[in-house]
């Protein structure tokens, strides 16, 4: 590769041409390693380095989840005969523990890139002006950039619905999204959470565990309504025992009250809260890019259209992660970044993404984890299914965890025609870890028969709940 960097000035400021231009420093930033040392590289980032996951997503939220788990454990002590109780939280200390770890990582990421001789970092928002030509709006004016190869990795952002009174409430500083809720100054006494998906369910648990009175609202009749119905139902029941759930409800209007907010929820009445968290989904940032006229196609949901090699519909332009995926998860964005990285380096030997068995987990209490089809999806596809559900309460480690059957479960589905797993759905402690052997079995096309008995499972570890689920599934296949 030859560097064609130049610095011709134009009306819009200095022009730069690169071998590679990366837009966004979430998973996009992982592409540039020492194999690109002889490429000239431009990187554009409009906020902190590291993207959503590091700064406003997975990592800080899971640090709060672990803190919330400590609070729950303290409150649960007496159930085990232990004299503990939960006495409240030093919120600024909790928050600062998280961001004193994270913020230096973001700064360090930027400094590292800025220190590389072949890389130029532009702090600003990029938008296209032509074929692989863009302008970056920075604090110091506009910079024109162009490149032989462009990687679009600009992610997404929370959806803010258009609801009466919301703007006034936001102007009063009482409305948050996942972008801001983790940096607030004080633990709210009462929190309204609009949305019962991933973000809503994780934050409802965090704040409820720390002592906030939570009211959670969702338009659907179940929380996590896209999960397998058995899991969604039990998760909803457990959450409903812990905080105020208003399901099948619309947030129709928000009203400012003395020091707080009144949420008008149609048939679900009203709720008084101090702060509101909007968690009604995320949208891709394609609208910031001025893609019209570039040949880069976007679908109805605003996702940049890519093929199996992560190529967009425009020559030399790639996309990855939340801007283009149907699975807006960090492990997917990272996988796609590895594919783009390989394909940039080996244009004669393109690799294809593997989206066959994308797992996911919700880090609430209890945890939820899943891979493959739900029972409903499998039946819709007309599969001849064998299904088995193993309860945690019926394995040795489950006895240690719970006195009665709390409904924690491992549900596994197999296709009788192939003898292979087609889905696994877990609800309970460590679900996000326990699901891994099931992902592995599906990814490596291992038959269900022999999966349990063909290996040792440590006794009395919680993994026996997965072993027993597979034994039960094998019996169901043979029935």
Ligand X SMILES: NC(=O)c1ccc[n+]([C@@H]2O[C@H](COP(=O)([O-])OP(=O)(O)OC[C@H]3O[C@@H](n4cnc5c(N)ncnc54)[C@H](O)[C@@H]3O)[C@@H](O)[C@H]2O)c1
What is the binding site for ligand X (CB under 6 A)? 161, 194-200, 202, 217-220, 225, 250-251, 279-282, 328-329, 360-363
Give dist(CA 387, CA 176) in Å, integer: 41
The label of the residue with tokens 């299904």 reads 387
**Complex with ligand X: residue 321 or 437, whichever CB lies closer:** 321
To ligand FAD, the closest distance from the beta carbon of 449 in angstroms equals: 32
The label of the residue with tokens 């590292």 reads 112
Q: Which of 134, 179, 125, 153 is nearest to 323 (CA)?
A: 153
Give dist(CA 55, CA 369) in Å, integer: 23
Q: Is 322 in the site for ligand FAD (CB under 6 A)?
A: yes
To ligand X, the closest distance from the beta carbon of 86 in angstroms equals: 24
Q: Which of 366, 290, 369 is nearest to 329 (CA)?
A: 369
Q: Is 321 in the site for ligand FAD (CB under 6 A)?
A: yes
Q: Is 288 in the site for ligand FAD (CB under 6 A)?
A: yes
Q: What is the DSSP string of 251-308?
A: --EEEEETTEEEEE-GGG-EEEESEEEE-S-EEEGGGGS--TTTT--B-TTSPBP--T
User: Integer distance in angstroms from the first to the last C-alpha of the chain?
Assistant: 61
The residue within the footprint of ligand FAD, chosen from 153, 193, 291, 317 (CB under 6 A), is 153
Instruction: To the nearest 10°, report the CA torsion of 85, 87, 93, 98.
Output: 40
Give dist(CA 302, CA 299) in Å, integer: 5
Question: Is 459 considered catalytic here?
Answer: yes
Q: Which residue is nearest to ligand X (CB)?
A: 197
Q: Is 333 in the site for ligand FAD (CB under 6 A)?
A: yes
**Complex with ligand FAD: residue 235 or 363, whichever CB lies closer:** 363
**Complex with ligand X: residue 160 or 387, whichever CB lies closer:** 160
Task: Convert residues 362-381 into a mask of x (bound to ligand FAD by CB under 6 A) and - (unbound).
Answer: -x------------------
The residue within the footprint of ligand FAD, chosen from 32, 199, 339, 434 (CB under 6 A), is 199
**Complex with ligand X: residue 196 or 260, whichever CB lies closer:** 196
Which of the choices ligand X, ligand FAD, none does residue 321 contact, using the CB cut-off of 5 to 8 A by kind? ligand FAD
**Complex with ligand FAD: residue 85 or 183, whichever CB lies closer:** 183
Q: Is 430 in the site for ligand FAD (CB under 6 A)?
A: no
In angstroms, what CA-CA distances link 433 with 66, 230, 370? Answer: 15, 20, 11
Give dist(CA 251, CA 230) in Å, integer: 27
Q: Is 125 in the site for ligand FAD (CB under 6 A)?
A: yes
The residue range among 8-16, 327-335, 344-352, 448-456 that interacts with ligand FAD, by the rule CB under 6 A, is 327-335
Q: Is 45 in the site for ligand FAD (CB under 6 A)?
A: yes
Give dist(CA 392, CA 234) in Å, integer: 14
Which of the choices ligand FAD, ligand X, none does residue 251 contact, using the CB cut-off of 5 to 8 A by kind? ligand X
Which residues lie across from 156 on neighbouring strands?
284
Q: Taking each helix axis from N to C terminus, what angle separates 198-209 and 229-242, rounded to the nearest 10 degrees?
A: 30
The residue within the footprint of ligand FAD, chosen from 289, 383, 409, 466 (CB under 6 A), is 289
Which of the choices ligand FAD, ligand X, none does residue 281 contact, using the CB cut-off of 5 to 8 A by kind? ligand X
Q: Which of 133, 148, 114 is nearest to 15 (CA)?
A: 133
Annotated active-site residue in 189, 326, 355, 459: 459
Q: Taking each helix axis from N to C terminus, what angle separates 58-76 and 198-209, rounded to the nearest 10 degrees?
A: 40
Q: Which of 27, 383, 352, 462 is nearest to 372 (CA)?
A: 383
The residue within the footprint of ligand FAD, chosen from 36, 39, 40, 51 (CB under 6 A), is 51
Q: Is 285 in the site for ligand FAD (CB under 6 A)?
A: yes
**Complex with ligand X: residue 194 or 208, whichever CB lies closer:** 194
Tell me if 290 sits within 8 A of 129, measured CB to CB. yes
Which of the choices ligand FAD, ligand X, none does residue 407 contact, using the CB cut-off of 5 to 8 A by kind? none
**Complex with ligand X: residue 200 or 472, whichever CB lies closer:** 200
Would you name the residues annotated as active-site residues?
459
Residues that bind ligand FAD (CB under 6 A): 23-28, 44-47, 51-53, 56-58, 61-62, 125-126, 153-155, 178, 199, 285, 288-289, 321-323, 328-331, 333, 363
């Amino acid at each position: 590769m030859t560097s064609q960097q130049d610095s011709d000035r134009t009306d819009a400021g200095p022009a730069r041409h690169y071998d590679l231009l990366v837009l966004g420093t979430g998973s996009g930033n992982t592409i540039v390693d020492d194999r690109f040392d002889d490429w000239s590289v431009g990187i554009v980032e409009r906020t902190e380095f590291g993207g959503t996951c590091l700064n406003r997503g997975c990592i800080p939220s899971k640090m709060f989840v672990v803190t919330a788990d400590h609070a729950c454990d303290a409150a649960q002590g007496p159930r085990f005969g232990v004299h503990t109780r939960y006495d409240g939280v030093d919120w600024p200390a909790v928050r600062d523990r998280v961001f004193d770890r994270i913020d230096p990582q973001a700064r360090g990421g930027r400094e590292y890139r800025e220190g590389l001789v072949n890389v130029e970092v532009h702090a600003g928002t990029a938008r296209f002006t032509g074929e692989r030509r863009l302008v970056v709006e920075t604090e110091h004016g506009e910079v024109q950039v162009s490149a032989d190869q462009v990687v679009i990795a600009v992610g997404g952002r929370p959806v803010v619905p258009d609801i009466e009174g919301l703007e006034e409430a936001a102007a009063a500083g009482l409305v948050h999204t996942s972008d801001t809720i983790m940096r607030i100054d004080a633990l709210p006494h009462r929190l309204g959470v609009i949305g019962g998906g991933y973000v809503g369910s994780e934050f409802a648990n965090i704040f409820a565990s720390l002592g906030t009175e939570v009211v959670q609202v969702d338009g659907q009749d179940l929380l996590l309504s896209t999960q397998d119905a058995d899991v969604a139902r039990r998760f909803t029941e457990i959450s409903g025992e812990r905080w105020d759930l208003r399901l099948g409800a619309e947030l129709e209007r928000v009203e400012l009250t003395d020091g707080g907010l009144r949420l008008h929820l149609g048939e679900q009445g009203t709720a008084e809260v101090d702060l509101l968290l909007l968690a009604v989904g995320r949208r891709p940032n394609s609208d910031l890019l001025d893609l019209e006229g570039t040949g880069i196609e976007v679908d109805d949901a605003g996702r940049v259209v890519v093929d199996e090699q992560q190529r967009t519909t425009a020559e030399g332009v790639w996309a990855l992660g939340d801007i283009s995926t149907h699975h807006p998860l960090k492990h997917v964005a990272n996988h796609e970044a590895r594919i783009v990285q390989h394909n940039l380096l080996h244009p004669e030997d393109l690799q294809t993404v593997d989206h066959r068995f994308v797992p996911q987990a919700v880090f609430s209490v209890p945890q939820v984890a899943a891979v493959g089809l739900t029972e409903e999806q499998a039946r819709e596809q007309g599969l001849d299914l064998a299904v088995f559900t193993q309860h945690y309460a019926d394995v040795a480690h489950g006895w240690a965890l719970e006195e009665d059957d709390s409904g924690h479960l491992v549900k596994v589905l197999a296709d009788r025609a192939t003898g292979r797993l087609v889905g696994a759905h877990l609800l309970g402690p460590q679900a996000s870890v326990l699901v891994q052997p099931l992902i592995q079995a599906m990814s490596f096309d291992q038959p269900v028969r022999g999966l349990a008995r063909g290996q040792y499972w440590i006794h009395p570890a919680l993994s026996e709940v997965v072993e027993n689920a597979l034994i039960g599934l094998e019996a169901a296949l043979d029935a």
